[in-house]
């Protein structure tokens, strides 16, 4: 029996015709050629097998939903960065903003990764309120088939640090979802924590990752992924054009209209967006603090990997104006001051003290000498301040306008001020302002320019609505515009009075309702004007009107929401609970939008 006959008798996974073809190919080959052919065929087979395995594994990988809920943009940026990292690992992802999320289908998620910030008194970001209310309600369905992880952003100096993240994490678990990894509560310096969280998520999903080289590339990447063109880490250095006070001589407030040159930057922005401003701390404040703690200012200090003078670190790297519960506690421990130690153990007194006394006055009233490292250990990193843009780029082109309330007050005859606003107040023409655009996609004008809008604000909350009016006029939008504006006094605090009156004259503003709280014995607020105009508001809503609110989250915005619910209840002849549901449906449809702070 020849070799071919013996070969054909074996149980092999190919037919005799294929064996015959193979034999005809290899019969004249040398031993070296046969060895090469065998290696080549092995490689082809291995590649095919691997491909089939990858296809089968990919079919098993559920789509990963990355949900961002942001108030100032940090959570949104992190979610975008995180999404790119998972894409490098060839994972199927769906990145979505909480305001666009179909939250009633959340129970259908297989893998849900949430990146969320906290605002106000531990509240979720504006864009996630509908989702939050649904999850916390009895209507929320069980999520037994969902795996999740939460990355919370916050500021540990606040009492309700990262509370929104904690609430989401706890509620998802209560509904039966399983944690992929433990929740992270990230402080102001969140980049390193995000990198660790990202790596941990990847390792947890490692069995589903088919491209190992992508995994290695992913885990070796550093925080350079956070840096994009003109953003928080890479601001544009613009020039101040105009800094003009727009409150009256006798006003209790100092409010500035500031115009900034952004020519040659290719920066684009839209009505509703904000700018982040990197400011520098006041030299006099720095000198006072250094003197109080017994430092000269030329002592070296290590900031990350750099050695700088303590006075320069205080100018560029640390928050010096706003005190906090944690700072008071730290200083009490360092100073061993009996009064501060007593206050630090009383939650209400601690909060009251931190809100009333700035850092410099806490030190002044309880002075001790500190080493540079001890002083730095008390302080929080300097962060940019956000200001709503008060101009439309279509109207002003290579400029950005902002409306800034200058924070000024006195403590025992010592003049104090806000960090960023004090710095901006002193900017003159030609001074450099480092800034970046903070997108705010949930606070946009209707794409349908025929839709009516109702704008409700107090004080500097007028800023985005000035940009709205510029844009509506530029677009020749036919939709009606109604402005509710409140402030202290008509003669002193009517911000942009001439512009607004001109818009009324032109018919750009169809109706304006003004509330002056100090012009009569009985205080009148915008929420009072809302109640008084309830019938017309209800009619506008039925015509498809969008409602916009800009101002203080804990005061004005809550009072306005309460007034709107009362209007809906009365005019719509519905119970309060149904009126609340109606308002939330407007929010879901993105017809009720808030920019609150």
CATH superfamily of 61-223: Flavodoxin domain (3.40.50.360)
Q: Which of 71-80, 197-206, 476-485 has the highest average model confidence (pLDDT)?
A: 476-485
pLDDT band at 218 (very low <50, low <70, confident <90, very high): very low
Look up residue 576 and give its two tokens.
Answer: 């309060």
- CATH class, domain 283-378, is mainly alpha
SS3 labels along 211-233: CHHHHHHHHHCCHHHHCCCCCCC
pLDDT band at 31 (very low <50, low <70, confident <90, very high): low
**How far is 270 from 443, CA to CA, in rounded Å?**
10
pLDDT band at 426 (very low <50, low <70, confident <90, very high): very high
Predicted local distance difference test score (pLDDT) of residue 187: 85
Angle at which helix 74-88 crosses helix 191-204, to 10 degrees, equals: 40
What value does the mean pLDDT take over residues 277-288? Answer: 97
pLDDT in tens, 518-543: 999 999 999 999 999 999 999 999 99
Predicted local distance difference test score (pLDDT) of residue 372: 97
pLDDT over 70 at 206, yes or no: no
**How far is 558 from 553, CA to CA, in rounded Å?**
7
Predicted local distance difference test score (pLDDT) of residue 6: 45
Write down the domain spans for the chain.
3-55, 61-223, 236-279+384-438, 283-378, 453-596
- Report the Cα 481 to chain-centroid distance in Å: 28
Phi, psi of 428 (to 5 degrees): -120, 175
Decide which of 3.40.640.10, 3.60.21.10, 3.40.50.300, 3.40.50.80 is the CATH code for 453-596.
Answer: 3.40.50.80
CA proximity to 183, closest of 159, 206, 201: 201
pLDDT in tens, 152-179: 998 877 778 889 999 999 999 999 999 9
* 61-223 and 453-596 share one fold: yes
Rounded to a whole number of angstroms, the CA Rg of the chain reads 31
Look up residue 165 and give its two tokens.
Answer: 């993240």
Predicted local distance difference test score (pLDDT) of residue 90: 75
**Pairwise pLDDT comparison (532 vs 52), residue with the higher score:** 532
pLDDT over 90 at 39, yes or no: no
Predicted local distance difference test score (pLDDT) of residue 530: 98
pLDDT in tens, 435-454: 999 999 889 999 999 999 99
pLDDT band at 221 (very low <50, low <70, confident <90, very high): very low
Using CB atoms within 10 A of its CB, is residue 291 exposed (0-12), middle (13-18) or buried (19+)? middle
Predicted local distance difference test score (pLDDT) of residue 597: 84
Using CB atoms within 10 A of its CB, is residue 11 exposed (0-12), middle (13-18) or buried (19+)? exposed
Question: Could you please report the per-residue DSSP string of 341-363?
Answer: HHHHT-HHHHHHHHHHS-HHHHH
pLDDT over 60 at 149, yes or no: yes
pLDDT band at 349 (very low <50, low <70, confident <90, very high): very high
Predicted local distance difference test score (pLDDT) of residue 8: 44
Predicted local distance difference test score (pLDDT) of residue 207: 59
Q: What is the second-level CATH architecture of the domain 236-279+384-438?
A: Beta Barrel (2.40)
CB atoms within 10 A of CB 158: 18
pLDDT in tens, 73-88: 888 989 998 998 888 8
| Torsion angle in degrees (nearest 10) through CA of 182, 186, 192, 198 | 40
**How far is 173 from 75, CA to CA, in rounded Å?**
22
Mention every residue, 6+ apart, whose C-beta is less than 8 A from residue 542. none
What value does the mean pLDDT take over residues 300-306? Answer: 91
């Amino acid at each position: 029996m020849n070799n071919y006959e013996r070969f054909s008798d074996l149980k092999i996974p190919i037919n005799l015709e294929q064996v015959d073809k193979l034999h005809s190919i290899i019969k004249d080959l040398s031993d070296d050629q046969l060895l090469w052919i065998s290696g080549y065929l092995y490689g082809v087979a291995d590649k095919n097998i691997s491909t089939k395995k990858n296809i089968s594994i990919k079919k098993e990988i559920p789509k990963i939903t990355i949900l961002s809920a942001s108030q100032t943009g940090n959570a949104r940026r992190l979610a975008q960065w995180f999404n790119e990292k998972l894409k490098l690992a060839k994972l199927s992802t769906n990145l979505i903003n909480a305001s666009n999320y179909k939250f009633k289908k959340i129970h259908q998620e297989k893998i849900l990764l949430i990146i969320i910030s906290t605002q106000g008194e531990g509240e979720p970001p504006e864009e996630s309120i509908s989702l939050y209310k649904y999850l916390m309600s009895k209507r929320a369905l069980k999520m037994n088939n969902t795996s999740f992880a939460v990355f919370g952003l916050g500021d540990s100096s606040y009492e309700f640090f990262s509370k929104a993240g904690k609430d989401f994490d706890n509620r998802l678990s209560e509904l039966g979802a399983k944690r992929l990894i433990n929740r992270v509560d990230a402080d102001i310096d969140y980049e390193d924590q995000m990198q660790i969280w990202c790596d941990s998520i990847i390792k947890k999903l490692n069995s589903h990752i088919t491209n190992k080289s992508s995994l290695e590339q992913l885990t070796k990447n550093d925080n350079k992924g956070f840096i994009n063109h003109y953003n928080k880490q890479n601001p544009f250095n613009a020039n101040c054009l105009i800094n003009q006070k727009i409150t009256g001589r006798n006003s209790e407030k100092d409010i500035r209209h500031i115009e900034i040159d952004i020519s040659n930057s290719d920066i684009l922005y839209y009505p509703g967006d904000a700018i982040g401003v990197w400011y520098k701390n006041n030299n006099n404040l720095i000198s006072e603090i250094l003197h109080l703690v017994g430092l000269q200012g030329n002592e070296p200090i290590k900031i990350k990997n750099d050695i700088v003078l303590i006075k320069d670190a205080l100018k560029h790297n640390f928050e010096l104006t706003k005190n906090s519960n944690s700072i008071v506690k730290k200083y009490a421990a360092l100073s061993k001051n009996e009064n501060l130690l007593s206050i630090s153990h009383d939650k209400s007194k601690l909060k009251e003290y931190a809100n009333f006394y700035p850092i410099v006055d806490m030190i002044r009233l309880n002075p001790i000498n500190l080493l540079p490292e001890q002083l730095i250990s008390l302080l929080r990193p300097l962060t940019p301040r956000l200001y709503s843009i008060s101009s439309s780029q279509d109207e002003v082109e290579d400029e950005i306008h902002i409306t800034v309330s200058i924070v000024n007050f006195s403590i025992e005859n010592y003049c104090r001020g806000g960090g960023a606003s004090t710095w901006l107040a002193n900017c003159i023409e030609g001074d450099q302002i480092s800034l970046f655009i903070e997108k705010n996609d949930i606070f946009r004008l209707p794409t349908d320019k025929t839709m009516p809008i109702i704008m409700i604000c107090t004080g500097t909350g007028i800023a985005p609505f000035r940009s709205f009016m510029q844009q509506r006029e530029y677009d020749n939008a036919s939709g009606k515009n109604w402005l509710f504006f409140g402030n202290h006094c008509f003669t002193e605090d009517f911000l942009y009075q001439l512009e607004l009156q001109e818009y009324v004259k032109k018919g750009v503003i169809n109706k304006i309702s003004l509330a002056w709280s100090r012009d009569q014995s009985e205080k009148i607020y915008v929420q009072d004007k809302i109640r008084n105009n309830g019938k017309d508001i209800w009619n506008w809503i039925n015509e498809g009107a969008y409602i916009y609110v800009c101002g203080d989250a804990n005061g004005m915005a809550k009072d306005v929401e309460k007034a709107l619910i009362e209007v809906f209840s009365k005019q719509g002849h519905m119970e309060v609970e149904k009126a609340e549901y109606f308002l939330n449906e407007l929010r879901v449809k993105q017809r009720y939008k808030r920019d609150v702070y």
